[in-house]
Amino acid sequence: MLILGIESSCDETGVALVQSAGSGVPLLRAHALHSQIEMHQAYGGVVPELASRDHIRRVLPLTRAVLEQSGSTLPDVDVVAYTRGPGLAGALLVGSGVACALGAALNKPVLGIHHLEGHLLSPFLSADPPQFPFVALLVSGGHTQLMRVDGVGRYTLLGESIDDAAGEAFDKSAKLLGLGYPGGPALARLAEQGNPVAFKLPRPLLHSGNLDFSFSGLKTAVLTQAKKLGDELDARKADLAASTQAAIVEVLVKKSLSALNQTGLQRLVVAGGVGANRSLREQLNAACGQRRVRVHYPELDLCTDNGAMIAMAAAMRLQAGVEQSHRNYAFDVKPRWPLQSLDGH
Ligand code: KG4
Ligand code: ZN
């Protein structure tokens, strides 16, 4: 079965083709991506209206590109999957509208996919796919969640951020340091040259006894520190970036270990854009290695938003029998949609 996946929930248009056969892990046949980062950079953040218009421009050329890459044609597609939510409503409507139009024109079924389920299952596209059950650390620009995952669609929320997401903490701190948008990767790059213990920054909820996170106080602490440095800020920016990253990473690592302890599980899956962070990967690998816990990540280029994870999640949902694709082309989207409300067996 050939599945076309379309992602358009935020500032990346992603299209991919995934092939599934029998009960084996589905295979990525082709994927193509257009990032809008450059377009939004001038505004210091995502402008929803511009995002929607750009998705409209990109989605069909990207679809042609993946068909060409894989040597297939539109009639070869068996199911059209798209991101149904959560995300920007207008942006989601582009992907769902195009998916439903393609489905209707080809008389093929469609399937709306949860964006975070896409991230969660993206490590199954790697050379070393995980096995269920596992603890998942979902760290994206909009979400920070620890989940117990027992199978496709079987997600139990263990803890989440009560305010800013980890990616947001990276982005907002980076903005305060004048590193532009999106700041996460820029802050991480600068942090490589800095001293992570140069500044004492808060580790919110580290000892809260539960698995919730809070990152909004961190950006205030970074701002206070930046103001205190005044003219010295430029010379100490790398140290402040490294200290900020260290605070975020320490909380993510400690809470992930607590989730593993609490559930007794021996496998951790890390997904979402912040999962690309090198320091997070190094520290998780070191801490989990000591405890004989296996850690799985998506391939680096599939950590941030992409169409492959959407096609993959559709393939796995269909394979697991937790959902049927359908020919109802009413392209309703869900800008807010809790992951744990999905069905599973
Ligand atoms: O998963 P994603 O592409 O989009 C959402 O679904 O939100 O995640 C984007 C987030 C942004 O906040 C970005 O700054 C962050 O992931 N990010 C990183 C790195 N690469 C992306 N944060 C820290 N270090 C990185 N290397
Ligand atoms: Zn995402």
The answer, yes or no, to whether residue 132 has pLDDT greater than 90, is yes
Tell me, using a 6 A CB cutoff, whether residue 140 lines ligand 1. Answer: yes
Share of the chain above pLDDT 90, in %: 95
Helices 183-191/166-176 angle, 10° precision? 70
Given a contact cutoff of 8 angstroms between Cβ atoms, the answer to whether 204 and 218 are in contact is yes
Given this model, what pLDDT does residue 220 score?
Answer: 95
Cα 186 from Cα 320, distance rounded (Å): 39
Residue 277 CA, ligand 1 centroid: distance in Å: 8
Ligand 1 binding pocket mutation candidate from 40, 168, 170 (most atoms within 8 A of CB): 170
Q: Is 46 in the pocket of ligand 1 (CB under 6 A)?
A: no
The CA dihedral of 250, 252, 257, 258, to the nearest 10 degrees, is 110
Could you tell me if the CB of 276 is within 6 A of ligand 1?
yes
- pLDDT tens readout for residues 211-227: 999 999 999 999 999 99
Confidence grade of residue 340 (pLDDT, cut at 50, 70, 90): confident
Bridge partners of residue 107, in order along the sequence: none
The predicted model gives 322-345 an average pLDDT of 90
Locate the ligand 1 atom nearest the alpha carbon of residue 272 and give its number: 1
Predicted local distance difference test score (pLDDT) of residue 304: 94
Is pLDDT at 343 greater than 90 in this prediction?
Answer: no
Handedness of CA 311, 312, 315, 317 (dihedral sign): negative
pLDDT in tens, 68-109: 999 999 999 999 999 999 999 999 999 999 999 999 999 999
Res. 345: pLDDT tops 80: no
2-121+302-342 matches 131-297 in fold:
yes
Domain boundaries, the chain: 2-121+302-342, 131-297
Q: Is the beta carbon of 188 within 6 A of some atom in ligand 1?
A: yes
C-alpha 215 to ligand 1 mean position (Å): 15
Site to substitute for ligand 1 among 9, 140, 172, most atoms within 8 A of C-beta:
140
Nearest CA to ligand 1 atom 16: 273
Q: Is the CB of 90 under 6 A from ligand 1?
A: no
Judge whether residue 113 has pLDDT over 60. yes
| Ligand 2 ion local residues (Cβ < 5 A) | 140, 305
pLDDT above 90 (res 242): yes
Residue 197 C-alpha to ligand 2 middle, in angstroms?
30
Looking at residues 145-165, what average pLDDT do you find? Answer: 97
| Distance separating alpha carbons of residues 340 and 159, to the nearest angstrom | 12
- The CATH number fitting domain 131-297, selected from 3.30.420.40, 3.10.129.10, 3.40.50.300, 1.10.3720.10: 3.30.420.40
Question: If you average pLDDT over residues 270-296, what whole number do you get?
Answer: 97
What's the Cα-to-Cα distance from 271 to each of 127, 219, 248, rounded to whole Å? 15, 23, 16
CB-ligand 1 contact for 14 (6 Å cutoff): no
pLDDT band of 65, cuts 50, 70, 90: very high
| CATH number of the domain located at residue range(s) 2-121+302-342 in this protein | 3.30.420.40
Residue 22's pLDDT is what? 85
The pLDDT value recorded for residue 267 is: 98
- Say if ligand 1 is within 6 A of residue 304 CB: yes
